[in-house]
A and B are shown apart, each in its own frame.
Chain A
Amino acid sequence: MTKSGKKTKPTALFDSADWDFETLQRTYEAIEDIALEDLGLDVYPNQIEIISSEQMLDAYCSVGMPLMYEHWSFGKRFIHDEERYRKGYQGLAYEIVINSSPCISYCMEENTMAIQALVMAHAAFGHNHFFKNNYLFQQWTDAEAILDYLDFAKHYVTECEERHGVSAVEEILDAAHALMDQSVFRFRRPSKLKPGEAEERERESREHDEQSYRELWRTLPPVDAAELPDAEERELNARKAMLNLPDENILYFLQKNSPVLEDWQRELLRIVRNTAQYFYPQKQTKMMNEGCATFVHYYIVNELYDRGQITEGALLEILHSHSNVVFQPNFDDRRFSGINPYALGFAMMQDIVRICTEPTDEDRDWFPDIAGNDDWRATLKDIWANYRDESFILQYLSPKLIRDFKLFLLSDKAAQPHISVDAIHDEQGYLEVRKALAASYDVTAVEPDIQIVDVDLRGDRELVVRHSVQDGIVLDEKTRVDVLDYIGRLWGYAVRLEGIDLATGRNPYTERVEAPGEKDAA
């Protein structure tokens, strides 16, 4: 910790566990002073809302959003969380923060004042700064528009339920939810959404959809073209060009091209797709985001203590919950459930401060560009702005941390009777461990790569979906048929899923679901 700038008179901001709005305000101002003046964070305006534990449970199940359309799966999550909470299996998060402008943080009324201070530092400044500055959020989400959009979505879904019945809406949402993971643009930026524009767009797109629907039929190649020697291939190319294939965004494709959907159903697909897109950056930066917020709250509360603004008791209480949050159980521990993003993120941020200020020779070898630059604030801000989990680990996971965490790499090959230890925390293993760990944070690699590649327009309109198999890992059999079935419902005709191993060209599996009509007839 650096020396505190000014020594104020050691009067604590609060000295009891109870909080009131005046104390919150006062504490917030003290935190803000450190966050902006000392750390130099750049944040959206803050809006802090105090809610009860029931409301927190409510917020939980609608994926943390203050507004969400209604669906049974949210109810399932709610019931599940509620049951666990009531039985004491699971505490509730102290806060939920929403990537919007103003940045909304929910704090629970049950929190003590010390915890409220921690939460404000964590959410209102840590997460907030990350949301505002990280390139993924900047490029892919619109903090100003999201609440308006969700409001539109909620009303639209309710309206559809009134007009078409709850179960008709549910059918579409079920199918869309199953395809959410495969329905984000990974490489091209989705068009920007301005507040209030959604309704307008919906109307326009309805007309457009109708037109493109007719296109599908009119632009079939003329008969003589089919008789040319290369006809088949040319036809395929024409088709692909027309339908923009291959398409990685399944819901987008279905929304635009499905021959059986009605306008409102297409709009529902778009709503689910947009929600998925909004959360996509969060998926890719979970560890960094938490690391950033944890680092910020840790720095701020220590600074508050150094300035005499919080008491020793409050500091201890905060540190107690801090260390719970950043606890990393070992792989053979009963509590182990993967690498804790708070633990790894926080450790890496702290480690960068160390590398900047007190580098060892090893650090100078590994990180020549930042080691000893003595400006950790700028270094961290640059990292928070320009990396995601995968690239951050690949670039900045230091040998010291690999040793601290005692990381090791296991390789499990289906053909082998045993699992082998490929690398551990030693000189030969650092790079390999780091690369493998980084890869496990690469969302595009962790999630199956599934694309729509072809449609048989002339025959039975069978839709062809391809899963690019990597490392021989196929799709889970139980779920792949179910999900394929959902695609079939949205497409209206048969769907074929091919697993193609790109490296070997082999085709380890193929699934096909019949058109919904055919199945009923059978």
Chain B
Amino acid sequence: MIHLIDRRLNPRDKSLGNRQRFLRRARKQIKEAVDKAVSERDVADAGQGGKISIPSKGITEPRFRHSGTSGNHERVFPGNEEYVTGDKIQKPPKGGAGSGGKEASEDGEGADEFVFSLSRAEFLDILFEDLELPDLIKATLKETHAVKPRRAGYSNFGTTPNLNVLRTMRNSMGRRVVLNRPKAAAIKELEDEIEALQAKDDLSATERLRLAELVNEIEDLKRRQRAIPYIDPVDIRYNRFDPQPEPKSKAVMFCLMDVSGSMGQHEKDLAKRFFILLHLFLQRKYERVELVFIRHTHVAQEVDEETFFYSQESGGTKVSTALIEMQQIIKDRFPVSDWNIYAAQASDGDNIANDSGVCVDLLENELLPLCQYYAYVEILTEQEVARYAGTSNGKELWRGYQAVGEQSGKFAMKHIAKRSDIYPVFRELFAKGDKRDRVA
């Protein structure tokens, strides 16, 4: 009569499709909420999923329903302790929170905000939705010359190291069975019998006959065994490998930062946020993203992340040293044929006289041809922002870099003054297609 079924192992997430449809439906609102969340969040969890709340406006499901404030309503309630027939209760002033109004808030969600959680993947998807890595496509196409052998079935020809023993033996066995190749055990058996007969001193006539028979038989078997080889060249199979073009899936991101005394903790913090955003973004596009941190004062050196962000150095500022260091590292460790190279440079814009020209030269002739993209953010104080606002002017380095920006599609630069600038600037730098505005 009863049918008990254990469904616990059935696929869960039957609602996944519905969830995705919902996210798509509310895309616009969610996008706004995600952008807002990122600008408010700490760097460490900028890329985490998490709770967001969106206005429930675009996702209502309207139905015809009675208005609670018009006409005459009658309603029965439980739990009367004090009222007697004929009592009059003053209506609450406007807004209808009385008996009539209650009805309205019962079915509706009441709140204007719809709060829910996004997974990390969903969050990042939406965060970077309309951003594109510059020249990503070109880079992958260009890279088709990088090939990697892929297994592609079996072949009759090949080199010994590629011999597939299992396949070969399977073929061999099949052939041996079909051709009825005598087994070693069968011959051994006959030989044993002969031995046993020969061991005897006096053989009877039948036994002698048998002995002759056996010798013949063994002769015959051995002949067949020779004629039918254990492994025939037709059995042999090799693993086949096809060379497959492999898109580059590795990227290296160079973080260059001025750490001279003029860069305070505030400036560094802003730079860090920018770097982290870029890192998150690259991680979504590439299987593997390496980070290289180069800090510089008047000398440059490669350091680990901790040192990069938190240690102070004193000295002058010579930007070109960092660029030379980067060039060296690329040459040593990141061949352009294998790596997509991205660079982000943060600085407060100071540079010693005459060095900016050197930097421009380095960038244009050496680095930019190697890079997919080079972004420069100049971190300013509020006063400086006010001064440069609306102009395309900036500090020393900015003015120098302007020459580069105008010429190359791979270079972009922006001003950042406060936390909330970072994400918009980032978006501007990586906005898809024509929206991209290379030079501020």
Contacts and interface: CB of A to CB of B under 8 A. Distances in A.
A375 interface: no
A439 interface: yes
Given A78-B19, A406-B78, A412 B7 contact: no
Contacts of B74: 409-412, 422, 436, 439-440
A249 to B, nearest CB: 14
Interface string A462-496: 00000101111111111110110010000000000
Most buried by A among B7, B14, B69: B14
Interface in B1-19: 1-8, 10, 12-15, 17-19
A236 B99 CA distance: 43
Contacts of B116: 79-80, 82-83
Contact of A479 (B17, B18, B62, B88): B62
A208 interface: no
Contacts of B23: 75
A52 B6 CA distance: 10
Given A331-B78, A412-B99, A424 B85 contact: yes
A473 B76 contact: no
Nearest to B79: A330
A417 B90 contact: yes
B282 to A, nearest CB: 30
A249 B61 CA distance: 19
Interface string A1-25: 0000000000000000000010011
A422 B1 CA distance: 52
Contact of A411 (B12, B73, B109): B73
Interface in A405-428: 405-414, 416-426, 428
A462 B86 CA distance: 48
Interface string A310-338: 00000000000000000011111100111
A246 interface: no
A408 B76 contact: yes
A72 B70 CA distance: 33
Given A55-B14, A421-B87, A471 B3 contact: no
B231 interface: no
A472 B79 contact: no
B79 A405 contact: yes
B80 A412 contact: no
A292 B75 CA distance: 24
Interface residues of A, number: 102
Contacts of A413: 71-73
Interface in B54-88: 59-81, 83-88
Contacts of A166: 21, 24
Nearest to B104: A476
B28 to A, nearest CB: 13
Interface string B309-327: 0000000000000000000
Interface in B112-127: 114-117
Interface residues of B, number: 65
Interface stretch (A40-48, A192-200, A223-231, A253-261): A40-48
Contacts of A61: 15, 18
A110 B115 CA distance: 27
Interface string B14-49: 110111111111100000000000000000000000
B91 interface: yes
A369 B387 CA distance: 93
Contact of A477 (B67, B73, B78): B67
A448 interface: yes
A53 B1 CA distance: 26
A331 B77 contact: yes
Interface in B410-436: none
A178 interface: yes
B106 interface: yes
Contacts of A177: 61
B227 interface: no
B86 A420 contact: yes
Contact of B100 (A338, A412, A421): A412
B50 interface: no
B85 A419 contact: no
A414 B13 contact: no
B79 A52 contact: no
B12 A54 contact: yes
Nearest to B81: A406
A429 B85 contact: yes
Nearest to A83: B116
Nearest to B23: A75
B76 A339 contact: yes
Interface string B390-407: 000000000000000000
Given A55-B12, A75-B15, A177-B61, A424 B83 contact: yes
Contacts of A367: none
B77 to A, nearest CB: 4
B76 A407 contact: yes
Q: Which one of A58, A102, A124, A408 has the highest number of Cβ atoms from chain B below 10 Å of its Cβ?
A: A408
A473 B88 CA distance: 21
A378 interface: no
Nearest to B5: A49
B8 A480 contact: no
A340 B3 CA distance: 32
Given A58-B14, A178-B61, A448-B66, A339 B100 contact: no
Given A408-B77, A473-B66, A473-B73, A70 B5 contact: no
Contacts of B86: 420-421
B72 to A, nearest CB: 4
Contacts of B106: 337-338
B98 interface: yes
B185 interface: no
Interface of B: 1-8, 10, 12-15, 17-26, 59-81, 83-91, 98-100, 104, 106, 109, 114-117
The 4 closest A-B pairs by CB, nearest first: A330-B79, A75-B22, A472-B71, A75-B18
Given A47-B3, A47-B5, A80-B116, 16 more contacts: A21-B4, A24-B4, A45-B3, A49-B5, A50-B4, A58-B12, A74-B15, A79-B116, A109-B8, A177-B61, A178-B61, A178-B63, A410-B77, A412-B99, A474-B67, A475-B65
13 contacts: A46-B3, A49-B4, A50-B4, A72-B21, A72-B22, A76-B114, A79-B22, A406-B79, A408-B76, A409-B74, A422-B85, A429-B85, A475-B64
